Amino acid sequence: MSYIVKPKFHHPQLQKNDLGYTRRDYEGTLTTLCGGCGHDSISAAIIHAVHEMSLAPHQIAKVSGIGCSSKIPSYFLERSHGFNSVHGRMPSIATGANLANRELYYLGISGDGDTASIGLGQFCHIVRRRINMLYIVANNGTYGLTKGQLSATADLGSKTKSGEESRYDNIDLVSLAIDLGASFVARSFSGDKEQLVPLIQAGLSHRGFALIDVISPCVTFNNTPLSAHGYKNTWENNVVLSEIDFVPMRKEITARYSAGKDKEITLHDGSVIHLHKTGSGHDPGNRENALLHVNEYKKQGKIATGLLYINQDQSDFHELADTVNKPFNRLNEHDLCPGGEVLADINETFM
Amino acid sequence: MSSRSQAASRKTGKTRKTAGVNNFVVKFANVNGSGSASANNLFAKAIFRMGIPVSPHNIFPSNIQGLPTWYEVRVNDKGFLGRREGVDLMVAVNEQTIVRDIESVIPDGFVLYDSSKALRPIRKDVNFLPIPLKDICLREFQHPGQRQLFQNIVYVGALAALLDIDFEILTGMISEQFRGKEKLILPNVHALELGYHYARDYFDCPLPIRLRPSRKARGKILMDGNTAIGLGCVYGGATVASWYPLTPSTSVVEAYGKYCKRLRIDPGTGKRKFAIVQAEDELAAIGIAIGAGWNGARAFTASSGPGVSLMQEFLGLAYFAEVPVVLFNIQRVGPSTGMPTRTQQGDLLSCAFASHGDTRQVLLFPSTPKECFEFAADSFDIADRLQTPVIVMSDLELGMNEHVCEPLEWEDARKYDRGKVLSGEQLEQLEEYGRYLDVDGDGVPWRTLPGAHPERGSYFTRGSSHDAMAAYTEDGNVYAEVMDRLARKFAGAGKVLPEPEVHAGGASRGMVYFGTTAGAIPEVRHKFDKRGVRLDTLRIRSYPFHDTVSRFIEEHEVVYVIEQNRDAQLKSLLKIDCGANDEKMRSVLSYNGVVISADQIQAAILADLPEIPEQEQVSA
């Protein structure tokens, strides 16, 4: 928690977005994470991304599990409702919340312990259920709050600060998600805001389940030169498979977009992603290709980042469940209750 | 006093003079998966349609095919529909269990069996009704499936003759059942007739135990509790059901789905005003319901012991973060896997205190399908009103067996009580909003839903310690204030919970019971009335207990607490919550997996009444 109250000072010249909001309107309470924690960069990227897209903060619901990662929804989007649930169970909360109101944006924040260990089952099943949300994993390969145990995403041979070596193969969340049918899968690095911000924007705009696995170093327990999840290793071995620029719906192309675009993808809400060739030969529209590339680079000790896979043709849960357009939480007895006369007929069938 | 009463009740069979017109027990001993269930249902329902009170019970294995299964039907014109010990007529068609089945018949009782194979006579004091079921079906039917299935229909036909079942009712039901598959009607009716004529030709029909049309069950319905809960969820406005299949709760969500597909389709678009998620486990099932409840939809899950155990952590979160959610616990025999297809009231304490830390959960105890319907619908209002989980404690006996009860009713003017939810307009008017501020002094704060207002009313829901503004805190005093408010909220919950049902006439002794024990109580009272022993009764319908419960205990010298578990869980809860005197509370317990009978309760209480001379038991 923050014992120090965050100052409410607003710079008079802070840039306003289409809704008239400045970045301050998208911030949260003061972070309590360690100085230099990758997770704070993720918070900053989220604030940047959502502000730039001009999303109304109250149209976003934040959900998380337990752990350092799951604390961060406090540190951004204070005007959004948030739900910090129990360890490994954010997917079920997100599923229920999404069922109750299909009109909001759902932003799930989880960590590698929360997603790849205690919550692996729920993670797999929310991917299968195709809940329309953006699921961000702040992945540091370690359990920070309990002081540095290895997590299931720690690479084989990776060492923590205390010298503990990971003796087991890691669980690779992007491969798993692609395999289970996620329709938007990306990996990024908390230190690469240029890459992360447009991915968050695209992930939020994507209709269906979107995953961004963000390598987010733990400066206190897992940032040694021998740690695969440390800053050094991630900077040195980051291979960008496909870079994107994001253009929010109904907006002129002004942002970071630069020359050299190879492909334009229009999302269901009208936003556009510009894909850039990086020389990797990667095609994010091809599922088998995506899996192959991710695994090839992994074998070489490299970390493939960028938009790894996207499929816009997949239905989301509500389409599959054939639910009404009006959010369930706005239906009342008039919409839902069949009434006494119908009940009398039902009674007849039990006589 | 404990459940040694079973021994006492076994004794009662010998002296029983119960059997007679509209008053007997028929038991069917079958092999599961052999098609007997629908034939046996046909038998029970036909009796019900004659206007006679009937109570069928399935005693089935946790298995798909090949193991013994029983169906016990009690007929009682007085409407005493709890289970009765002793069998008057056994339909013994399972070779695996036939010896024991015949042993369970009362002296002078009847045994209908398949005489296609010779039966070694093992008793001389019962009457055998041999019918060559297999031979008849081999002769009359060509299809191998029909040769097996129709053996069941043939014995129902024979019972129609033996017990005087209205044959037209039976054939009418066959026609209803196979509407749309007309070519199946004729062979079924033929099978019924084969049995009917065989019995007429070879036996003295009807038997002394037989049926006579009555008005007692006219206008009533015959329904199982899980169907009633499913319907109650439709009527109560539930839009999200998340679940993991688990006997005996499975049919709750199946019933909900079945009625939703009929009653919850938007006429304009054909789209669904409900969603059912078959989750990966019970943790996800309750999590999904909580997520939906948090976001303002009415949501529920249904489960049983093993699943409810898995839900504990989430139930604590919903209690502490104050999220409305409804859980239907269709209890079965524990601990662990226990006896999955047998009944028990064994989850009382684990549900009342579900989850770690100081938690208390609201419980409802239905005892009839009608109450299952009402409590299911009410539970959503209660959960919204109190912003906390509501656990509806049914059991296998109520959930999976059909019971005669009054027809379901719905007041069309009824509005859903969504509790304290602030709209965007209301937030606009407010100077300050705090999610956990007790502005009304009743311990129930106001909540907001995501998306309600662009700038006001957002808060952070968490299972970690929080202050009145929903901010994280490690200040012990602030934590304690929240815990005290939650205790106040719980203490005041009685106002919105169903009151106990009391029958009191100034007796010095009383019985306290809940749920499916209710089936036996009118008969127990009747038995004691006949002996000149007055007993007041109180049926608990909800937890936290209403004040009436403590008063009832105070006002009686001796209180029999009747429940279906080993450890007297209700008695413990009464001691904890009502400060009830341990000395005056005497337990009557049953935990053998079948619902407690009036005989058991009577025997246990009799053993505690030394001043009453032992007499021959008077029948109901």
Query: In the prediction, which pLDDT does B620 show?
Result: 38
SS3 B509: strand
Mutate to test the interface with A, among B41, B239, B281, B282 (most CBs of A within 10 A): B239
| Chain B closest-CA separation from residue A12 CA (Å) | 20
Instruction: Say which of B291, B314, B458 has its CB closest to residue A58.
Output: B458
**Contact assignment for B452 to A325 by CB distance below 8 Å:** no
Containing H/E element for B588?
strand B585-589
Minimum distance, in Å, between the CA of residue B612 and any CA atom of chain A: 43
Residue A235 neighbours by CB under 8 Å, 6+ apart = A189, A191
Of B392, B609, B342, B409, nearest to B497 by C-alpha is B392
SS3 state of residue B550? helix
A124–B contact, CB cutoff 8 A:
yes
Distance CA A280, CA A291 (A): 14
Q: CB count, 10 Å around CB of B128?
A: 14
Tell which of A50, A62, A95, A124 to mutate to test the B interface (max B CBs under 10 Å): A95
pLDDT attached to residue B478: 98
Give the orientation angle of helix B133-140 with respect to helix B185-202, to 10 degrees: 130
**Pair of tokens at residue B311:** 């839900």
Percent of residues, chain A, with pLDDT higher than 90: 79
| Residue of A261, A137, A151 whose CA lies nearest to A188 | A137
Query: Within the 45-84 window of chain A, which residues sit less than 8 Å (CB to CB) from chain B?
Result: 56-59, 61, 63, 73-74, 78-84
Q: What is the share, in percent, of chain B residues with pLDDT greater than 70?
A: 95
Q: Cβ contact (<8 Å) for A92 and B234? A: no
| Model confidence band, residue B122 (pLDDT cutoffs 50, 70, 90) | confident
Percent of chain B with pLDDT over 90: 92
Is B461 within 8 Å of A91 when comparing Cβ atoms?
Answer: no
Helix extents (H) in B396-440: 396-400, 424-429
Sole residue written with tokens 């025997």: B603
In a mutational test of the B interface, the residue from A74, A90, A107, A343 whose CB has the highest number of chain B CBs within 10 Å is A343
Read off the pLDDT of residues B144-156 as tens digits, 9 standing for 90 and up. 999 999 999 999 9
The confidence band for A275, taking pLDDT boundaries of 50, 70 and 90, is confident
What average pLDDT does range A125-152 have in this prediction?
Answer: 96
Question: Residue A251: pLDDT above 80?
Answer: no
Higher pLDDT, A20 or B10: A20
Contacts of A69 (CB under 8 A, 6+ apart): A39, A109, A110, A111, A112, A114, A137, A138, A216
The domain of A167 spans 23-347
- For residue B321, the distance in angstroms to the closest alpha carbon of chain A comes to 9
Please state which of the ranges A275-284, B79-88, B328-337 shows the lowest mean pLDDT.
A275-284
- Confidence band, pLDDT 50/70/90 cuts, at residue A261: low
Q: Is residue A283 part of a domain?
A: yes
* pLDDT-based confidence at residue B15 (cuts at 50, 70, 90): very low
Among A324, A93, A130, smallest CA distance to B289 is for: A93
Which chain A residues are Cβ-neighbours of B264 within 8 angstroms? Answer: 336, 338
Q: Does A56 reside within a domain?
A: yes
Q: Name the pLDDT band for B612 (thresholds 50, 70, 90).
A: low
Residue A14 pLDDT grade (very low, low, confident, very high; cuts 50, 70, 90): confident
CB contact under 8 A, B279 and A125: yes
Please name which of A63, A90, A87 lies closest in space to residue A77, comparing C-alpha atoms. A63
Chain A partners of B476 at a C-beta cutoff of 8 Å? none
- Asked if residue A128 lies in contact with residue A153, where contact means CB atoms within 8 angstroms, the answer is no
Going by pLDDT thresholds of 50, 70 and 90, the confidence category of residue A26 is very high
Q: How far is A32 from chain B (nearest CA, A)?
A: 12
Whether ipTM > 0.90 holds is yes
CB contact under 8 A, A1 and B473: yes
**Å between B617 CA and nearest CA of chain A:** 35
CB A127 within 8 A of CB A120: no
- pLDDT value of position A249: 76
- B2 has a pLDDT exceeding 50: no
**Of A198, A212, A207, residue with least CA distance to A311:** A207
pLDDT band of residue B616 (cuts 50, 70, 90) is very low
Say how far apart CA B577 and CA B500 lie, in whole Å.
Answer: 15
Residues A1, B234: C-beta atoms closer than 8 Å: no
Nearest-angstrom CA–CA distance, A148 and A223: 11
Query: What SS3 class is residue A258?
Result: coil
A180 touches chain B (CB under 8 A): no
Cβ–Cβ gap B292/A129 under 8 Å? no
The tokens describing A54, both together, are 């001009």
- Total domains in the fold of chain A: 1
Residue B18: per-residue pLDDT? 58
Residue B195: per-residue pLDDT: 98
Q: Which helix (H) or strand (E) holds B111?
A: strand B105-114
- pLDDT at position B618 is 44
> Using CA atoms, how far apart are residues B370 and B407, in angstroms rounded to an integer?
7
pLDDT digits (tens, 9 = 90+) for A170-218: 999 999 999 999 999 999 999 999 999 999 999 999 999 999 999 999 9
pLDDT, tens only, B394-447: 999 999 999 999 999 999 999 999 999 999 999 999 999 999 999 999 999 999
Closest Cβ opposite residue B474 in set A1, A82, A89: A1
Q: Is B33 helix (H, G, I), strand (E, B) or coil?
A: coil
Q: What backbone torsions phi and psi does residue B68 show, to the nearest 5 degrees?
A: -65, 140
Q: Cα dist. B592→A94, A116, B513, B596 in Å?
A: 42, 43, 18, 9
pLDDT at A4: 66
Taking phi over 0 as left and psi of -120 to 50 as alpha, with beta for the rest, B600 belongs to alpha
The backbone torsions φ and ψ at residue B496, rounded to the nearest 5 degrees and listed phi first, read: -105, 10
The two most distant CA atoms of chain B are separated, in Å, by 87
CB contact under 8 A, B412 and A340: yes
Higher-scoring residue by pLDDT: B300, A162: B300
Q: Is a pLDDT exceeding 70 seen at residue A256?
A: no
Q: Does B473 touch chain A (CB under 8 A)?
A: yes
A33 assigned to some structural domain: yes
Output the average pLDDT for chain B: 94
Q: What is the mean pLDDT of residues B374-389?
A: 98
pLDDT in tens, B68-82: 999 999 999 999 999
For residues B570-609, one letter each, b for 16 or more C-beta atoms within 10 angstroms of the residue's C-beta and e for the rest, the string is bbbbbbebbebeeeebbbbbbbebbbbbbbbbbbbbbeee
Using CB atoms, pick whichever of B292, B317, B451 lies closest to residue A104. Answer: B451
Q: Is the pLDDT of residue B1 over 60?
A: no
pLDDT at A254: 47
The verdict on residue A11 lying in a domain is no
Pairing of strands B362-364, B542-543: antiparallel
CA distance B9 to B104: 13
What's the whole-number mean pLDDT along residues B156-177? 97
Can you tell me the distance from the alpha carbon of B291 to that of B48, in angstroms, rounded to the nearest whole number?
43
Over 60: is that where the pLDDT of B255 sits?
Answer: yes
Taking CA atoms, B11 is separated from B104, B127, B614, in Å, by 12, 20, 13
User: Cα distance from B408 to chain A (closest Cα, Å)?
Assistant: 7
Tell me whether A94 touches chain B (CB under 8 Å).
yes
Mean pLDDT value of segment A162-172: 92
CA distances from A251 to A51, A193, A261, A272, B49 (A): 14, 21, 17, 9, 70
If you count residue pairs, one on A and one on B, with CB atoms under 8 Å apart, how many are there?
Answer: 233
In sequence order, the β-bridge partners of residue B56 are B73
Determine the angle formed by the axes of helices A173-180 and A287-299, rounding to 10 degrees. Answer: 160
pLDDT of residue A160: 83
What is the arithmetic mean of pLDDT over B56-78? 93
In a domain, A74, yes or no: yes
Task: Flag whether pLDDT at B3 surpasses 90.
Answer: no
> Do residues A319 and A308 touch, judged by C-beta distance below 8 A?
no
Give contacts of B286 with chain A, Cβ < 8 Å: 92
pLDDT at residue number A159: 85
CATH code where residue A309 lies? 3.40.50.970
> Which residues from chain B sit within 8 angstroms of residue A327, using beta carbons?
297
Q: Is B315 on the interface with A (CB under 8 A)?
A: no
Q: Tell me how far the alpha carbon of residue B154 is from its chain's centroid.
A: 31
Write out chain B residues lying below 8 Å of A4, CB-based. none
* A window 259-278, beta carbon within 8 A of B: none
Q: How far apart are the CA of A186 and the nearest CA of chain B, in angstroms? A: 25
Domains annotated for chain B, with CATH where assigned, are 11-202 (3.40.920.10), 223-405 (3.40.50.970), 421-495 (no CATH), 501-606 (3.40.50.920)
Q: Residue by residue, what is the 3-state secondary structure of B161-229?
A: HHHCCCHHHHHHHHHHHCCCCHHHHHHHHHHHHHHHHHHHHHCCCCCCCECCCCCCCCCCEEEEHHHHH
Per the rule left: phi > 0, alpha: psi between -120 and 50, beta: everything else, B540 is beta
Q: Taking the C-alpha atoms of B190, B191, B193 and B195 in order, what is their torsion angle to the nearest 10 degrees?
A: 160
Least confident of A242-256, B252-266, B581-595: A242-256
Give the mean pLDDT of B506-513: 96
The whole-angstrom separation of Cα B191 and Cα B405 is 31
